[in-house]
Each structure stands twice: as structure tokens, then as C-alpha cells.
Amino acid sequence: MKNRSIPSPAVTRLSLYLRELEHLQAAEVAKVSSSQLAGSLHITDAQVRKDLGYFGQFGRPGVGYRVEPLIEALRHILGTDRTQNVVVIGAGDLGRALLRYRGFHKKGFDIVAAFDISASKVGKQVGHVKVMDMSDLPAIAGKYDVKLAVIAVPTESAQQVTDALCSAGIKGILNFAPAILETTPDVAVRPVDLAASLEQLSFTIASSE
């Protein structure tokens, strides 16, 4: 526990800063000011400085931030300076789409295995992994030191999958099933509820009429 009360929205923005910095690096920009960074993300410059300030002193007064060192620092903070192995549970439409999604690898995540209970899916090749049976999960999780998992199974089986993941030593779950998952306290869950996201948009539209 080395957390000194960092606002969780600040951590969310860290990913955005990193993304923007990677664009700048690709465009061979060497340095950037907080107000430039803020501008492209539609937030204030003070916000950028404060967020970065939670983690250290990365800038130089009168100059700004050097792009490359800041990228490395942010990756280190986020834990993506080394490859993170990930498993995907559920090889339905969504699971298969995630297995083929290239965005994860670019950000330092490596999907090392996929799992399903359906005999019709087990054994099939998707992306660069073969779908395995759920019973193989503990062995794979141990072998590849997997800490992160993605749940892309139907709502009804989400909780039992979660239990299996907790037992297998997974510490973070990205959950696409529309359900609240019960976990051991050392496991973090991040929900992604697609229908609820559309509902939020629907509300925004409805209330601005």
C-alpha cells in the first residue's frame, strides 16, 4: 500500500495523458506544456499539473514536460512498463472480438489465453490463442503469472467465473457482464456496462430537450 490518497479520477486521466503523449512522441514532439496537454483533452492546465504532481515532479518551470521521460514515468506508475499477461473468459462474440483487438498489445497487455465452458468453442483458434476449458485456468494463471482477467460471459455465469478467477489468484477484473460481482477484498473489478452507457447518452439527450 503506497497509495497517498490519490483521487481516482486523476488516475483515469493518467491514461489519457499517456495516450496523448504517445501521439506527440509519434509526431516527434520532444516537449509539451500542461496547457497544451490540457487543450487537447478539454481540461484545465491546473488539472494536468495537479494530477502529475500526485506522482512526482516531472516538469521544468519555463519549459514544460519532456515527452519521452514522462511517457516512461507514466507507464511505470500504471504498471505497463513491463508486459501484463491477461486472460479472457468467454469466447462468444464479444470475447472473440476482444481476442482480436490490437489495442491491448499496443498498451503493454498480452492476452495469453481464452477460456470457455462450451465444448463447441474449446479447442478453436481465435486471434493468436486457442480456447481452453475453464478447468485449465489455474494452471495457466500460475504458469504465466496472470493478474488481469476480462469477463465476457453471460450474466448468469459471471459470478461463478469470478469465484474461479479469485481462486486462481487474479487481482483485477474487467467485467462486461451487467452484474455486480462479489470478490475477495484484494481483487479490483472494473465494470463496463455497454447498455448502461447507452442509457447515459439517452438521458443526456432526453434532458437537454
Partner DNA sequence: CCCTGTGAACCTGTTCACAGCG
Partner DNA sequence: CGCTGTGAACAGGTTCACAGGG
Q: What residue ranges bind DNA (CB under 7 A)?
A: 5, 7-10, 33-35, 43-47, 49-50, 52-53, 57-65
Cell digits for 98? 476482444
User: Among 35, 40, 44, 184, which residue interacts with its own copies (rule: CB under 8 A)?
Assistant: 40
Pairing of strands 64-66, 31-32: antiparallel
Selection from its own copies, DNA, none that 16 binds (CB < 5 to 8 A by kind) is its own copies
With both helix axes pointing from N to C terminus, report the angle between 8-26 and 67-78 in degrees, rounded to the nearest 10: 140
- Closest residue by Cα to residue 65 from 33, 89, 96: 33
Amino acid at 165: L
- Closest residue by Cα to residue 175 from 187, 167, 185, 186: 187
Least CB distance from residue 40 to DNA, whole Å? 13
Binding to its own copies (CB under 8 A): which residues in 87-106? 93-94, 96-98, 100-101, 103-104, 106
138/146 Cα distance (integer angstroms): 10
Count of residues interacting with its own copies (CB under 8 A): 61
Which positions touch its own copies (CB under 8 A)?
1-3, 11-12, 14-16, 18-19, 40-42, 77-80, 84, 86, 93-94, 96-98, 100-101, 103-104, 106-107, 109, 147-148, 150, 171-174, 178, 180, 186, 188, 190, 192-209
